[in-house]
Each structure stands twice: as structure tokens, then as C-alpha cells.
Amino acid sequence: MMLKVLIADDETPARSRLKDLLTDIGNIEVCGEASNGIEVITLAEKLKPDVLLLDIRMPKMDGIEAARHLQTLAQPPAVIFTTAYDTHALAAFEMSAVDYLLKPIRLERLQVALHKAGKLLPTQLSEINKLSAKRTHLSISERGRISLVPVAEIIYLRAELKYVTVRTAQHEYLIEASLTQLEQEFGNTFIRLHRNCLVAVAYISGYEKRSIAGHQEKQWVALLKDVPDTVIISRRQQHLIRHTP
């Protein structure tokens, strides 16, 4: 059976070398090439490769983040990372039993990796996520497709039951996530103004007291850019008003 392989690397010579090596191996179809993590996701959805040869350091979105988003597909491809990382990072891959190819890639090593390539397990991905910077996008799975939402466009994240509402200027999305984990991951990008809501600092335009239905006294709220929504500031968090633009 022909093995479908998608190559992802931001350097054209590196992609060409991989194609040549795969041709030498035979019984392989190079179904596409990507030069950044966002292209990887688009092509993987469209082409449905069996195996993804995925460079770690790429512009727009690195390979580890791309692999994380791809795991939300119903049938994610097997992933083999290609890397020129240092010894410390390679040790993390080995401890997680995640397969990788060290550049320059050798034919024999590539053959072995393709033979044993398998889908990433959640525990493996959790470990190698530590090598990646914080995500540049959140992925929304809708009807078997991945929608990427740039973190820079998110106005707030509000927890509701087991879901989190992701609010942008144009849309609202629902994701299954922990607000606490999102807060830890994105650090100073968002601040917690209420126990159930993280607000992007860049989208706060001001604060004022307003009458809110269900509250006897006027409440401090954050005014937001680009949307009419407001976010109530809990008493515990009102000290932030003095320290946030």
C-alpha cells in the first residue's frame, strides 16, 4: 500500500532533500509540502496524509503547536518531527518516546522512523509541549474541521459549565478547556477580572460603574474594544483597576 507523506519545513532545500530520500525509499507518495504550521494544518485536513514529517522551528506557528492542533482531527496523521534542536530538547523527545529525525537526515534513519511511525498519544504531546512557546492560536473543532483563532484576536475567555466561550470581534466559539490552564499558559496576555472570565489586556478600553440586572448596587465593569459586551469585575479583582490601562 502506498504511504502518503506530507512534508513540512520552512527551508526549500530541506524539503527537496526529504523528497529525494522518500523517492529512494519507494512506495511513498509525497502528497504535499508546507512551509509553516498554519499551512500544515490546512493541507493535513485536505490531503489526509498517513505520515507528517514536521519541522519544529517554522514561522507563523511552530511544529509542536501544529501537531497539538492536529490531534483534534478524527484521524490525525502519524507525526515524525525533524529538528536541529540541542541535546536537552532531544532528551525530552526520547523520554516521551516521540520519534524525531535529527538534521541532516539519513536515509536509513528515515526508513526506520517511517516503519514505526504512530499517532501521538496525549501524554507524549503533553511532554513535548513544554519545548514550545505559548500557542499563537486556539483550535476550534467544528464538524470534523479545525478553525484556528489567533490569540491576538481574542477579547475574552469566559467559563460556562464545562466549556469556555472564546470571544472575538466577529464570532463566539466554544472550546473544552480549563480557564486556569489558559491563564497559566498565556500569562500577562489576559487578566482574570472575574472568577469565570479572563480578559485580554489589549482590549480593555476603560472601567465604569453601572447598574446590572440582578445586583442591588452598581457594579464595576470593564469596557471592551470592538464589542458592546462588558465584563463585571469581582470585588476581589477590583484592585486591578488601578494597575491596568
Segment 119-135, tens digit of pLDDT: 787 778 777 877 777 89
> Which of 174, 175, 165 has the alpha carbon at shortest distance from 199?
165
How far apart CA 44 and CA 193 sit, in angstroms, is 38
- The CATH number for 3-131, chosen from 3.40.50.2300, 3.60.90.10, 3.50.50.60, 3.30.499.10, is 3.40.50.2300
On the 0-12 / 13-18 / 19+ scale of CB atoms within 10 A, 73 is: middle
Domain residue ranges in the chain: 3-131, 154-242
Predicted confidence (pLDDT) per residue in 135-192, tens digit: 999 999 877 789 999 999 999 999 988 899 999 999 999 999 999 999 999 988 999 9
Q: What is the CATH number of domain 154-242?
A: 2.40.50.1020
| Cα–Cα distance for residue pair 117/174, rounded to 1 Å | 32
Model confidence over 20-57: pLDDT tens digits?
Answer: 999 999 899 999 999 999 999 999 999 999 999 999 88
Residue 211 pLDDT: 83
Average pLDDT, rounded, for the chain: 89
Question: Which among 230, 225, 218 is positioned nearest to 245, based on CA atoms?
Answer: 225
CB 8 within 8 A of CB 54: yes
Task: Considering only residues 206 and 84, tell me which one the structure prediction assigns the higher pLDDT.
Answer: 206
- Look at phi and psi of residue 158 and say left if phi exceeds 0, alpha if psi is from -120 to 50, else beta: beta
The three-class DSSP label of residue 121 is coil
pLDDT digits (tens, 9 = 90+) for 221-237: 999 999 999 999 988 88
Please give the pLDDT value at position 101: 87
The mean pLDDT of 62-84, rounded to a whole number, is: 89
**DSSP at 105:** P
- In single-letter form, the type of residue at position 60 comes to K
Distance CA 102, CA 6 (A): 18
For residue 154, how many other CB atoms are within 10 A of its CB? 24
Looking at the predicted structure, is the pLDDT value of residue 88 above 90? Answer: no
The whole model's pTM is what?
0.83
Helix (H) or strand (E) holding 88: helix 87-95
